Amino acid sequence: MSSVLERNGSAAISDEDARTRLLIIGAVAFVIVLAGWLVYSYTRPGWYTLYPTDLGIYNDGGLIVRHVSPPYDGKSLYAWHAADNDSLQFTYTPFAAVLFAVVSVIPWSLLPRLFQLANLVFLLIATWFTMDALGYCSRRVKVGGMLAGAAAGLLIEPVFRSMFLGQINLFLMALIIWDLRQPDHRWWKGIGTGIAAGIKLIPIVYVPYLLLARRFREALMTTIGFVVTIVIGFVVIPGDSTDYWLHGLFFQDGRTGFAGWNGNQSLLGLVTRLAGSLHAATAPWAAAVLAATVVGLVCAALFDRAGHRMLGILTAALVGLLDSPISWDHHWVWVVPGMMVATHYAVRGWRDGRLRDVVGCLAVAVGLLLIFAPWPGLLWSDPERKAGAFTFGLIWGAPYSKVSTYVAKGDQPWFKEYHWMGLQNLAGNAYILTGIALLVILAVVGWRMSRGRPLRTLLLGTGP
């Protein structure tokens, strides 16, 4: 793969026939996968494909902003919890609640299905701009790649779960890719990423990435966009904004439940499950986060300065997924552009006659598809995993704590995640282990790219 990265080119498909074939293949793949998804959706009970719990939380947060003690100046948002489950609370930023207030205008009878449709559109937007960021100019190639990427996306569990729960991960991913692939001369480039960080904090990882890549104006605009979201929150809901930003609510990852629950595919989740308690996990988690941050962001900056901007964006996203205290399974939607980028470099390797690069990149793309695929429920021993359900991925093959409907509060030694053995550890940690493996691969590629050139020159020099 590294030898492919050494040459900076943009188009992997040049002849007209190949462009047309890609368009046809992408269109056929997307139609077949989407049709299969729709057939599955309408021939199974509703909860198999749509159980909008998270959307309900967003909607309730928006309703609180709109209707509680208007003009709103209370502190009800973060004290609220679902009537049937006190584990479900609003954990997003005050600015996010303001946005959800707009969404909550839509009647609930329509909102879940509209949100599913919107997520499909955001998936297509993300794959379109991924093709754009990879340097493709032909409209046929971009459309074909967009449709093929979206088809692959509909076959992975994080996308399925995002649509199943009514999540906003696909929107945030599309917003960031759209923003950071803008031409460098656009002064506002970076603001969209700052807005994404103002909704869900973790995209703030793009600020140090942009600084290391010497894209100072974009780092500044990302910071400005983030600060603007904070200001809007204080203007509209000052009480809750004070609690969130000044009283430390944004530090309290425990509000989302037990960090070791196997739905949490982050370094904290992995280390907690292996250490046997939240307390024992603190020091090794901090060390792991530091290592992942330094290695990942340096690699992201190296790729960016070598002209491989989409690879840099993806590497920074991977750092965010690893470092975040909570990275639920549906946060890993970034696997979709990851598969597309790996396929892109496989095609380039084929054109350049680099068989090793072709095999390596295709192995990454296919491996991601298989590991993150939604597998049939009949594979799991848990009776809740119905034989006809494809809602669940490999991580759900391991026993998990069900003290409450979704997540368990507190930290108890009898939680099932502390007692996994053998293959249960591999299955239950499949996403985060894959993320670590990807970081290692990217570090090796980055090191091979930089051989013979001092790191200081690569990051601080005037050229790639």
Tens digits of pLDDT across the chain (464 residues) = 555 555 544 444 457 788 889 999 999 999 999 999 898 888 887 777 888 989 999 999 999 998 875 545 555 788 777 666 666 788 899 999 999 999 999 999 999 999 999 999 999 999 999 999 999 999 999 999 999 999 999 999 999 999 999 999 999 999 999 999 999 999 999 999 999 999 999 999 999 999 999 999 999 999 999 999 999 999 999 988 988 998 877 777 667 778 899 899 999 999 999 999 999 999 999 999 999 999 999 999 999 999 999 999 999 999 999 999 999 999 999 999 999 999 999 999 998 888 998 999 999 999 999 999 988 766 665 555 555 566 678 898 888 887 654 566 678 888 999 999 989 999 999 999 999 999 999 999 998 887 756 555 555 554 44
Tell me the C-alpha distance between 44 and 86, whole Å: 29
Torsion region of 277: left, alpha or beta (phi above 0 gives left; psi -120 to 50 gives alpha)? beta
Tell me the C-alpha distance between 300 and 369, whole Å: 23
Measured over the CA atoms of residue 206, residue 207, residue 211 and residue 212, the dihedral's sign is negative
Written as six digits, the tokens of 415 are 């939680």
Q: Give the count of beta carbons closer than 10 Å to the beta carbon of residue 337.
A: 27
